[in-house]
Amino acid sequence: MDHRHEDQQRRQQLLTIVDRGSAEQLFTFLQAYHRRPFRNITEVMGYDAAIDDQIDFIDCVATRYNVTPLIIAAGKGSYEKTKILLVHGANPNKQCSTGDTALNLAVHRQKYRIVDLLLTYRANPNIFNKSGKTALHRAAVSYIDDNANHVRALLNAGADPALEDRNQRIALDEAALANKPEITSVLLSHDPNLVQRAYRAAIIAARLGHDRCLETLLDYGMDPNICDRTHTSPLHVAVRSLKLSTARLLVSHGADKNLINNRGETPIGIAEYLQPDQQQSFVNVLIHTPRVEASGFHVYSNGSMPANAIPYVHPLLRSHPNWTLDSEEFRSPTDNNSSVQNLLDTTSGSYWCCRQNKDAWVIFDLKHQYNISGMRIIGCDNQSTPRSGHIDVSTAFNGPWLKVKDFTCPLSQGNKNDVFFQALKTRFIRVFLSDNYGGDDIRVQGIGFYGVDMRLVDLLREHGLERSLPTLLANSINDLESLDENRDEILNSSDKYLDVNDHFLFIRLMESLRSPKLTRLEWFNPPQSTVIAGDKLQTFSAAGDEGVTDRVKLEERLEQSSQIRTVLMRDLEPIQGRSLVDFPDYVIRDPGRYKVRVVSVESPNIQTPWQDIVVGKCICSYR
């Protein structure tokens, strides 16, 4: 009896600590129940397996909803508690009363790091809950479209995109219902055969007017006249649902306005019986919308073509010097005579030299989204050239990072290697170099990326010119700069780049294209005027023109000195109608009267006024 009571007490104590306590309390509590002691919580976090000495109550369940400690920790978003429980043998595939696992709940609540952690510990992404939903169904609905790349983590771990829920919906249908075109694209790029099962997704998108989802399905090769056994097509549904733009999209891709369903209805017939204020608009769209060729953008870039054909569609992007920075935030330890920015200028013959011979890394912030399908890496001509590594992406500079592709760099003349993968949209890329060929350090001459600027894609779509994208890409036009540089050739050689009817659309597009340029810098939140030596100043910031991402530097000098030194370098970030740069954690060590200003690196004549800062002596008291 006492034993049962003690066991119940342990279970309740564990559930309470996971629910309300700290990770440190959880670590201390579990230490008493196994024979492999960890010295501290840091050792647990660095342990990449589960201990053999199982704790028999680690998967105990609460009386409400039958949730386990692991489900509670994952649902609350506690990475540390989740890791501690997994190391101590918690089963990631236990289900609560709704049939959900810790993985399902972490996905539903968009806890991406915890999802990756659970998958590392072999959480099964194909377990159904009582509604028949798997983790992939949950992700299609819960993940925001900007984080679509995180769906790949589930797919790479074996999530089956063909599994149906109780309503016979697959994850593709859920993505269409939730209007998630990027997630739709990720699912189709992983399994192009899903397009053969896209009828329900197409009907949902047509009924709700989710045009970008429908366009994605069409770009991946879906038949615009796809039907079920009733012969009802998406165009039937779009007209009946009064979705004019959807009907136009379908007709432009070849949907048949005269297709007869089992009730004897055609799309044009349905349009003729609409209310007078709708009838003429739909009849005009069905009769007069011209047929266009699908852009082929997704089809070319998703891996369905041979790898050596991808660069033809996605040329190498022009690198920009502000994509990375010589600071410890952006790269691993670097030789004093080397700069990570050498990677972005392959014409100089200079290298980035990482002092360590393994586990080198560099982060690129592309400033806005690109569709990336490959990387070019140029090593050096000795044993310090990279041998293997992987490419990661993230939705934020600080991660979490999702691995996209492992790669190797075979030795060759010039040690130039191209790596290709399924195209994905991202702003942040990390290149991780695992090792070299035996040198004392790792040296890389250049890193570039194959892709297309999503601002170009969006601009073409906005002006009805998306069908021109493959031709532009084939002529190495893959960003706004190359489009602007080639404007005269495009306008004077319309038959090469454009359909004859698109000439004036392109003129209108070019008139709207105004590359933002930095013309001014001003204080947005000036630095404080007084501070004690050695103390951090409060974060201060400067502002520039809207949309610019130029690199600027913070300069400092003593009031009576003409010697100016550069203290920090940062990039302007477009935010709400302006571009801002913040300077956190700035410290002046020595007392005195100082002046600081922010200066454009590219155009030094563009600068803020000097700002005075009086730095006082540190007054220390002793007892």
pLDDT, residue 494, reads 56
What are the structure tokens assigned to 20, written together?
């309300």
Task: Tell me which of 412 and 98 has the higher pLDDT.
Answer: 98
Q: For position 496, what pLDDT does the model report?
A: 65
Does one domain contain both 351 and 435? Answer: yes
> Same structural domain for residues 536 and 587?
yes
Q: Distance between CA atoms of 250 and 580, rounded to whole angstroms?
A: 42
Structure tokens at 83: 């890791």
pLDDT higher than 60, residue 382? yes
Residues 6 or more apart whose Cβ sits within 8 Å of residue 266: 236, 257, 258, 259, 260
Tokens of 578: 């302006």
pLDDT of residue 347: 67
Residue 330 sits in a domain whose CATH number is: 2.60.120.260
How many CB atoms are located within 10 Å of the residue 397 CB? 12
Q: Are residues 543 and 588 in the same domain?
A: yes
pLDDT tens digits for range 309-357: 333 458 899 998 889 988 888 999 999 888 888 888 766 678 999 999 9
Residues 526 and 419 in one domain: no
Residue 543's domain is classified under what CATH number? Answer: 2.60.40.730
Which pLDDT tens digit goes with each residue over 462-490? 888 887 888 888 788 999 888 888 888 88
Dihedral sign of CA atoms 320, 326, 328, 329 in order: negative
- Does residue 286 carry a pLDDT above 80? yes
- 323 and 450 together in one domain: yes
Same domain, 494 and 550: no
pLDDT digits (tens, 9 = 90+) for 428-442: 999 999 999 999 999
Residue 253 lies in a domain: no
Going by C-alpha positions, the residue among 531, 508, 522 that lies closest to residue 579 is 522
Q: Are residues 489 and 508 in the same domain?
A: yes
Is 228 a member of any domain?
no
Share of the chain above pLDDT 70, in %: 92
pLDDT, position 47: 86
User: Does residue 446 sit in the same domain as residue 468?
Assistant: no
Range of the domain at 570: 521-616
Tell me what the mean pLDDT of segment 385-412 comes to: 89
231 domain residue, yes or no: no
Q: By mean pLDDT, which of 15-29, 281-295, 377-391, 400-414 is the weakest? A: 281-295
Q: Provide the pLDDT for residue 500.
A: 64
> Torsion-angle region of residue 463: left (phi > 0), alpha (psi -120 to 50) or beta?
alpha
Q: Which of 33-42, 167-176, 332-341, 406-415 has the lowest mean pLDDT?
A: 33-42
Q: What is the per-residue pLDDT for 159?
A: 95
What average pLDDT does range 65-81 have in this prediction?
A: 93
Residue 530's pLDDT is 93
Residues 513-572: tens digit of each pLDDT? 766 789 999 999 999 999 999 898 999 999 999 888 888 999 999 998 999 999 888 889
Question: Is the predicted pLDDT of residue 297 greater than 60, yes or no?
Answer: no
The answer on 26 and 73 residing in a single domain is: yes
Percent of the chain with pLDDT over 90: 56
Q: Is the pLDDT of residue 69 over 70?
A: yes
Per-residue confidence (pLDDT) for residue 429, from 0 to 100: 96
Task: Identify the domain boundary among 66, 93, 124.
Answer: 124
- Domain presence at residue 405: yes
| Strands 611-616 and 573-575, sheet pairing | unpaired
Give me the chain's average pLDDT, please.
87
Q: How far is 504 from 525, CA to CA, in rounded Å?
A: 45
Q: How far apart are CA 244 and CA 241, in angstroms?
A: 9
pLDDT at 305: 33
Q: Is 450 helix (H, G, I), strand (E, B) or coil?
A: strand
> Which H helix or E strand runs over 200?
helix 199-208
Q: Which amino acid is at 482?
A: S
Same domain, 492 and 596: no
Question: Both 111 and 84 in a single domain?
Answer: yes
Last residue of a domain, one of 124, 145, 171: 124
Q: Are 546 and 574 in contact (CB under 8 A)?
A: yes
Contact 363, 333 (CB under 8 A): no
* The predicted structure's pLDDT at residue 619: 63
Between the two ends of the chain, the Cα-to-Cα distance in Å is: 59
Question: Are 299 and 222 within 8 A, CB to CB?
Answer: no
Q: How many separate domains does the chain show?
A: 4
CB 302, CB 371: distance < 8 Å: no
Q: What is the pLDDT of residues 2-43, one digit of tens each?
A: 566 677 888 899 999 999 999 999 998 988 887 767 888 888
The pLDDT of residue 380 is above 50 = yes
pLDDT at residue 403 is higher than 60: yes
Pairwise pLDDT comparison (340 vs 123), residue with the higher score: 123
Cβ within 8 Å of residue 16, ≥6 positions away: none
pLDDT in tens, 205-233: 999 999 999 999 998 889 999 998 999 99
* Rounded Cα–Cα distance for residues 125 and 8 (Å): 31
Whose CA is closest to 433, among 377, 389, 480? 389
The answer to whether residue 412 sits within a structural domain is yes
Q: What residue type is assigned to position 126 of the chain?
A: N
Mean of the pLDDT values across residues 570-598?
89
